[in-house]
Structure 1
Amino acid sequence: MKILKEIQLQLKGNKKLTLLLKYATGLILFGVLLVVVLFSLVYFEVFGKLPNKEELTSIINEEASLIYSSDEVIIGKLFAENRTNVRLEQIPNHLKEALIATEDKRFYSHNGYDGQSYARVFFRSILLQDASGGGGSTITQQLIKNLYGRQYHGFLSMPINKIKELIIASRMEKLYSKDEILLLYLNSVPFGENNFGVESAANRFFNKSVSELHIEESAVLVGMLKANTYYNPRLNPENAKKRRNTVLQLMNSEAYLSNKVTDSLQKLPITLNYKNLDVNATAGYFTYQMKKKAVEIVKKINDSTNTSYNLETDGLKIHTTLNYDIQKIAEKSAKEQLIIKQQQLDKELASNRLKNRWLKKQQFTEDDKQNRTIQLFDWDSTKTITGNKIDSLWYYDKMLNASVLITNPKNGAVISWVGGNNFNTLPFDMVLSHRQIASAFKPFLYATALENGISPCDYFENEEKTYPEYDNWKPKNADHSSTPDKKVAMWYALIKSMNIPSVNLYFKLEKEWLIDTCEKLLFPEITDDTPSIALGTLDLSLFEATRAYGAFTNNGEMNDLYMISKITDKEGNIIYESEAQKAKRVFTKESAQTLTTILQQAVEQGTGASIRNRYKIKNPLASKTGTAQDYTNAWFMAYTPNIVLGTWVGTSKNDVHFTSGNGSGSSLALPIVANILKEIENTPELKEKYLSSFDIPEKISSSIDCPPYREKGIKGFFNRLFGKKKGE
């Protein structure tokens, strides 16, 4: 009886097992059928078109266009995706080995998909829920995902996209060699921070080309592929180091590295040389303006040659006129001067209670007065404060800004362009902003006089006078001096920037003469008919002023300014090259040289003398300062035969400003140019290129050989008669 019962129990158990096996088999067959059906639907493009052979063989990764300085430094990029493609021979073996060991160790043996990886994913990742089991995508499949993305198909999105990638990957493996697939992958893979391709990543994190990477650096970049942000070596250095060491260990497991090398590399710290042209952009203002010019140029090329070049995708090389070394010098000089002067302005504002007067002019809501966390621009980093909108507005309204423009007067090339304090946080370009030009305008008035027969040794009244016809206007010299008993020589009035003689000179000229000069210099239209124009009430941009000063040192001819010297395609073929432009005659050669002779004296004994006395600049130089009314705008313009340097300093709206001589052109703007010139003088290559002596004939140099003052009346007559010397 016992034996019968045991047999019956076994039969019942076998029936349950058999039934279970039937259900399992049926489920597996159903699953296989479902996969086959789903595969067939994807294959026959029910869920969207698959790329054909022609499309796969014509894959061209979009590539950023690079912007080069004249000394071959990359200063910017133009891109839809920040990518710079590299050739196969540029990729070091250790980078390929790190990638294969980490992402697809059977890369060279499979046909685009890896059955073993699928099995591992199914059993470890799906059945056993082991997150460390890894993914099943090969490098080829990851490439497909990078190139074509993934589409949404509801709850079937994942299997459909995986099947698509499998099919496309197997097709691609028939068309490309393994190394070609590696190259496509490395040129397209994302590294975060809107950065695509290993060349861009190498430049971003290590400031070097991919061919220069060390083994441990390659491991850092490959490690980032698992999670761009989490393993970003700048944002999360500890995570990045652990991941790098994992990659190195995987390379060791695949026999790419010995135990000794692996151990030594894992002990190394991660040393970055981070360079983000988007955030820390040297010449950010320049590249922004240059891009607008490049767009125009490329459009003309496409229209005239029936081509379709794209600045953001075609990897063009844009070679500019900017000198990287001088650009860095200019930015540094402006920054150092503004930090010093901002402290002086803040002290002055605290003592004269200007903030209270400023507050009365503003209109704020109650919400503006609510405190919150605010990020503000600071020279070294963005600083965070607890304050309200009023605090933020006051901070920026009282902030000093500087712009610097340096050009080559012989051809109009822009050598340096500093549009403000920081392009990313303060993008408004002060080089193009129109501000009251002040006394920096006077050389144009005096050059007009020279053009129309007035001599530098002609004398003008220097006595204060009221003009009833102009609302009792009474111009004064900046130092409030006057010489009722003496007249002043024209050359001396200019180097000392005297207002009273300048107004008298204006009245001696025909107004149309000055208007004609301004039109030739491409200045804004003069609509003000008051004589205050002689003192610089016209609003000019630094761009317009610097271009115009170029005519003085270029023998009276003015070149328009340009930024792009040539553009090549990614193979290096020239598609655009700037042509030598025809300079525009504004002044006669004699007038320009005479004006330059006078402005050289402004450096020796006039308003620009501190450039010699304090800053010890030795090179021959001509210059002119400018200080607008109430110290709202400070200017300094200087030039040699080969370079024109212009700078403006002020606040963004002119509502807040110095109320003392600290805000004058000689105090606020001149030091920026002086420090730039000092650096150029101390750099032999730059000195030889940009600093040289003026070649002015003795006849013109001696044209200002007359006393600065001439006494009126009988005494003056006898002094002239008996030859009173210059300077007495």
Structure 2
Amino acid sequence: MLKLKARYLKFKKRKFLFRMFKYLTILVVLGIGMLVALFALVYFNFFGPLPNKAQLSGIINEEAALVYSEDDVIIGKIFAENRTNVKLSQLPQHLKEALIATEDKRFYEHIGYDSRSYLRVLFKSILLGDKSGGGGSTITQQLIKNLFGRNYNGVLSLPIHKIKEVITAKRLEEIYAKDEILLLYFNSVPFGENIYGIESAANRFFNKSVNELKIEEAAVLVGMLKANTKYNPRMHPKNALQRRNTVLQLMNNQTYLSDKANDSLQKLPLILDYENLNLKTTAGYFVYQVKQKTAEILAEINEESDKNYNLETDGLKIHTTLNYKIQVIAEKAAQAQLMIKQKQLERELRSNNLKAKWLKKQESASVQLAADQKKRQLSLFDWDSTQTIQGNKFDSLWHYAKMLNASVLITHPKTGAVITWVGGNNFRALPFDMVLSHRQIASAFKPILYATALENGFSACDYLENEEKNYPAYDNWRPSNADHSSTPDQKVALWNALIHSMNLPTIDLFFKLEEKQLLDICKKLKFPAIDNNSPSIALGTLDLSLLEIIRAYGAFANQGNMNELHLISKITDKAGHIIYENKVEKAERIFKAATCQTLTAILQKAVAQGTGSKIRNTYHIKSQLASKTGTAQDYTNAWFIAYTPSIVLGTWVGNSKNDIHFKSGKGAGSSLALPIVATILLAIEKDVQLRKQYLTAFTIPDEIYASLECPAYKEKGIKGLFNRLFKKPNQK
């Protein structure tokens, strides 16, 4: 009976096992059938088109445009994706070995997909739950994912993606050699921080090209591919170091590294040379202007030809006129001056309690006061660093309202090339470009008026009234000199009035000229239209940009000829073929050469003994220079412009709004703006090459200088006549 029962149980067990095997077989067959069906649906594009061989043959990765300075420094990138492609010959062998050891050690053996890897994933990773089993995607499949992305297909997304990548990877391997696939991979793989491709990553984290990467540096970048945020060496250096050593060990496992080399490399510290052109502000304002101008140039090229250049993806090389060395000098000079003057301004503001008055005005104008007063975390740019504070909207507004700003523009007057462009304090934090901002030009306008007079028959030794008086036709306007001096019994020579920037003689000169003469010159100089005839424009009440006034002074430096300013010298495609080259247009004649020579001789005197004398006395600059200061009413805007025949330098300094400013001479052009230009000039003068290139001597005839040899003042009336009749020949 027991034997019978045992046989029955054995039979029942066999029957159960047979049934289970049957069901399992059916499930396997169904699974295989469904997989085959799914494969067929994917293959025949039911879930979206697959790239065919023709499309795969034409793969071209998007590539950022690079912006170069005149002295061949990369100063910016313009991109949709921050990518710079490299050639196969530029990939170091140890970089390729690091990738293969880490991501796909059978890369040279499989045909695009690796069946053994899929079996490993199935049994080790999925069935046994061993996370160390790794993934099943080959480098080729990862490349497909990088190039074409993945679409959402519900619960079937993962198998559909894998099938698509298997099919496309096999097609890709039928077209490209293995090393070409590695190149495509390295040029397309993302590294976080909106950068793509190994060259951009090498530039970002090690400030070098890919062919210069050391083994340990290559291991850092390859290690990032597992999780580019978690293993970002700047953000998470400990994670990156650990991951780097894992990559080195994997290279050792595959015999790419000896035990000795592996041990020594793993002991090295993680050393970065982080270089992010987006975070740095050097030439940021300039690069933005270059981007705008390049877009215009490409639009014209595309319209006039059958080309279709894309600024953000075609890997163009934009060669500019900017001198990087002088750009850095200018930015540092502006920063150093503003850091000193900011402290002085804030002391003045505290002494007159302006902040409380200013805040009260802002709060009274607020339409949502409660929301504006709500405290929150604020990141505010400051010269020392970007500071984070707890504050409200008004705190942020006050921080930037009290901040002094500076812009610097330097050009070559003979060509109009822009040598330096500093649009403000920090492009990322304060992107508004002060080079283009219109501000009251103050006495920096006076040379325009005096040049107009010289152009229309006046001489440097004509004498002008220096007496205060009312002008009834202009609401009893009563101008005065800056120091409130006047000489009712004496007239002042035109040259002396200009070098000391005297207001009263300037107004007298304005009334001696025909109004149309000045307006015509302003129109030729492409200043904004002047819609009133107020004599105050002679003193600089006109609003001009730094760009407009520097372009105008370029005419003084260039014998009366004014060039349009330009920023781009040429543009090439990524193969190096020139697609655009700037052709300097013929300069427009604004003044006679003799007019500019006389004016320049006067402005040289301004450096020697007038408003620009700090150039010599304080900064001890020896080069020949002509210069002019400008100080707007109430010290709201400070200007200083200097030039030689080969360079024009100008700066503006002030607050963003006119309601906050210095109340004393500390805000004058000679105190606030001049030091920036002087510091730049001093650095240029100390550099032999730059000095020879830009600080060239004036070639003004001796008779021009002789035409200024007349007394600074002349007495009026009988006493003056007597002195003129009976003075000694050498008496002035």
Q: What do residues 543-596 of structure 1 show as CA deviations (whole Å, max 9, x unaligned)?
A: 000000000010000000001100111111111111121000000000001000
Length-normalised TM-score, structure 2: 0.98
Deviates more, 1:38-47 or 1:438-447: 38-47
The CA distance in 2 between the partners of 1:714 and 1:577, in whole Å, is 66
Cα pair 1:76 1:281 within 8 Å, conserved:
no
Counterpart residue identity of residue 43, structure 2: Y
Match of 1:397 among 401, 407, 417: 401
What is the match of residue 434 of structure 1? 438
The Cα offsets for residues 504-550 of structure 1, whole Å up to 9 and x where unpaired, read as 11011001000011011000111121111110000000000000000
2:74 corresponds in structure 1 to 74
Match of 2:490 in 1: 486
Confirm whether residue 468 of structure 1 aligns to residue 459 of structure 2. Answer: no
Counterpart in the other structure of 1:205: 205
Spell out the pairing of 1:45-444 with structure 2 (5 A cutoff): 45-362=45-362, 363-364=365-366, 365-444=369-448
The one-letter code matched in structure 1 to 2:477 is: W
Q: Counterpart of 2:147 in structure 1: which amino acid?
A: L
Q: Which of 689, 708, 717 is residue 685 of structure 1 equivalent to? A: 689
CA distance, structure 1, for counterparts of residue 712 and residue 263 of structure 2: 80
Q: What is the distance in 1 between the residues matched to 2:360 and 2:596?
A: 48
Q: Which residue is 2:601 aligned to?
A: 597
Instruction: Write the distance in 2 (CA, Å) between the matches of 1:361 and 1:491.
Output: 45
Matched, 1:7 2:11: no
Structure-2 separation of matches of 1:107 and 1:421: 51
Give the distance between the partners of 1:507 and 1:726, measured in 2 at CA: 33
Q: Match for 1:250: what amino acid?
A: L
**1:725 CA drift (Å):** 8.2
- Cα drift, residue 320 of structure 1: 0.4
1:459-479 residue CA offsets vs partner (Å, 9 max, x unmatched): 111111111221111111111
> CA contact under 8 A between 1:406 and 1:416: conserved in structure 2?
yes
CA–CA distance in 1 between the matches of 2:121 and 2:332? 56
Q: 1:515 aligned to 515, 519, 527, which one?
A: 519
Distance 1:727 1:526, change over 3 A: farther
Q: Which residue of 2 aligns with 1:564?
A: 568
- 571-580 or 273-282, which deviates more: 273-282
**Aligned-residue offset at 1:722:** 4.0
| Structure 1 runs not aligned, ≥5 long | none
For residue 15 of structure 1, report the CA deviation from its aligned partner: 2.7
| Residue pair 1:546, 1:644 contacting (<8 A) in 2 also | yes
1:77 Cα deviation from its structure 2 partner: 1.1
User: Is 1:453 matched up with 2:457?
Assistant: yes
Question: Closer, same or farther in 2 for the Cα pair 1:149/1:209, shift >3 Å?
Answer: same
Alpha carbons of 1:269 and 1:552: their partners in 2 closer, same or farther (altered >3 Å)?
same
Per-residue CA deviations over 1:211-252 (Å, capped at 9, x if unaligned) read 111111111110111111111111111111111111111001
In structure 1, how many angstroms separate the alpha carbons of the residues matched to 2:81 and 2:730?
Answer: 67
| Greater mean alpha carbon deviation, residues 159-168 or residues 302-311 | 302-311
Provide the secondary structure at the position in 2 that maps to 1:678: helix
CA distance in 2, matches of 1:153, 1:367: 44
Q: For 2:618, which of 601, 614, 617 is the aligned residue?
A: 614
Whole-angstrom CA distance in 2 between matches of 1:720 and 1:202: 77
Kindly indicate whether the alpha-carbon contact (under 8 Å) linking 1:662 and 1:668 is maintained by their aligned counterparts in 2: yes
718, 721, 724: which one aligns with 2:725: 721
Matched, 1:647 2:641: no
CA distance in 2: counterparts of 1:574 and 1:6, whole angstroms? 92
Q: What letter matches 1:611 in structure 2?
A: I
Deviations, residues 626-679 of structure 1 (Å, cap 9, x unaligned) = 000000000001101100001001111112111111111011101110111111
CA distance in 2, matches of 1:206, 1:300: 38
Match of 2:326, SS state, is helix
1:49 to partner: Cα distance: 0.8
Q: Does 2:535 correspond to 1:531?
A: yes
Q: Percent identity?
A: 68
Q: Taking structure 1 as reference, are residues 724 and 670 closer, same or farther at Cα in structure 2, changes over 3 Å only?
A: farther
In structure 2, what is the Cα distance between the partners aligned to 1:469 and 1:297? 50
Name the residue aligned to 1:576. 580
Q: Which amino acid aligns with 2:331?
A: E
| Per-residue deviation, 1:727 | 9.5
Query: Secondary structure at the residue paired with 2:154?
Result: coil
Deviation at 1:7, TM superposition (A): 3.4
**Number of matched residues?**
728
Question: Which amino acid in structure 1 is aligned with residue 476 of structure 2?
Answer: N
Q: Choose from 655, 666, 669 the match for 2:670.
A: 666
User: Could you tell me how far apart the structure 2 residues matched to 1:719 and 1:242 are?
Assistant: 92
User: What are the superposed Cα offsets for residues 68-93 of structure 1, whole Å, 9 maximum, x if unpaired?
Assistant: 10011111111111111100001100
The DSSP-based 3-state class of the residue aligned with 1:220 is helix
Supply the distance in 1 between the matched residues of 2:727 and 2:388 (Cα, whole angstroms): 69
Q: What is the root-mean-square deviation in Å for CA atoms of aligned residues?
A: 1.3
